[in-house]
Amino acid sequence: MGHETWDLIGHEETVRFLQAQIQRGTVGHAYLFTGPSGVGRRTLALRFAQALACAHPPHAGAYCGHCRVCRLYPQQAHPDLHVLHDPGGLKVETVRTVRPKLLLSPRDARVRVVLLPNVEQATPAALNALLKSLEEPPEHVVFLLTARSPEAILPTLASRCQEFPLRPVPYATLRDGLTARGFPLAQAAWLAAWAQGRPGRALRWAQQPDDWRAYVAQIQDGLQLLHAPLRERLAYAAPYRAADREAVQARLATWQALWDLWLRLHQGLSDPRGHVAGGEIMRAVARQLTLNQVLQGLQHIQQGLRLLARYGNPRLVLEGALLTWPRLQGRAPDYARAVEQLIPAAAGHEPKPVP
């Protein structure tokens, strides 16, 4: 790790490829980084931009870490870096406002960089305006787009970009990346296991303990509901309204990860989540479920997520999933307690900087 490899966790091959382009002087005008949220699309795009713009690179493809670019790019505060983002999706006005600025020479970097995160959420009008800018980009401008997948955006837009699909980072790479940043091993192991290859997710949990606690609480809810009678399950779903779509989606996504883990354990696959804090609880639950129950549980959650994406009623979707779960005997195990000691007490826990 270090400035030479852009201080990233994972994605070494993509970094090497982009560095080689900088070294050979073959950098293009538009790039598209795809993959699941939290995998590192925006971070990678920003570090690429930093390496392109750094005033004193130690060698081509690296950045110095000290110049004005290196100080201001990570905070997205440099005047030659334009981050185009509107709540709810990019709007055409935002694209139009930035366009005249792109014609100007960069102020103190070598390039002007336009970063467009989550471009699949952009309005059609904004995408059209963007396409026009991409057709004849000024020599000194580089566009960096991020999206869930190339299929999620217009083919005409994707075809103008070099695409780099980012895959989940292997467990050991993520765990070691976290310990190198100063996290204690047990904490790094849990974060790496449950973030499932997404460094952004692991770091967000570590830096915002409330988010971490909320995720653990969803896991705990899943276990509790598995032991609960039907009336308790209905009571759990009852308060959710149409406006709670995202909250229900988040719960179902967490439970999908749970049932997916139980399926993997049933199939005899090794999974790091079964070996970090609370892992023995997960293995014990898997033993109490039959393979058929696990398959059905997973299937109903996936179906619920599909229904929610098509505007199904959040409460009914939640009920639909919960009523199909088998009921386990005895008291629910206390997963939250098994993990609580790993969660940093103070919000904004700052790990040591990377040496």
Interface residues with Zn ion (CB under 5 A)?
A: 54, 63-64, 67, 70
Give me the least distance between CB of 253 and Zn ion, in Å please.
38
The amino acid at 216: V
Q: Which helix (H) or strand (E) holds 32?
A: strand 30-34
Give me the least distance between CB of 79 and Zn ion, in Å please.
15
Which C-beta is closer to Zn ion: that of 109 or that of 286?
109
Q: How far apart are CA 39 and CA 52, in angstroms?
A: 22
Question: And the tokens for 98?
Answer: 């930035």
* 8 Å CB contact between 82 and 113: yes
Q: What does the DSSP assignment read for 190-250?
A: HHHHHHTT-HHHHHHHHH-HHHHHHHHHHHHHHHHHHHS-HHHHHHHHTT--GGGHHHHHH
* 8 Å CB contact between 290 and 221: no
Give me the least distance between CB of 57 and Zn ion, in Å please.
7
Which C-beta is closer to Zn ion: that of 142 or that of 276?
142
Give me the least distance between CB of 345 and Zn ion, in Å please.
36
Give me the least distance between CB of 84 and Zn ion, in Å please.
23
Which C-beta is closer to Zn ion: that of 54 or that of 317?
54
Q: How far apart are CA 248 and CA 241, in angstroms?
A: 10
Which C-beta is closer to Zn ion: that of 55 or that of 332?
55
Give me the least distance between CB of 7 and Zn ion, in Å please.
12
Residues 6 or more apart whose Cβ sits within 8 Å of residue 54: 62, 63, 64, 67, 69, 70, 109
Which C-beta is closer to Zn ion: that of 4 or that of 93?
4
* 8 Å CB contact between 315 and 238: yes
Which C-beta is closer to Zn ion: that of 49 or that of 301?
49
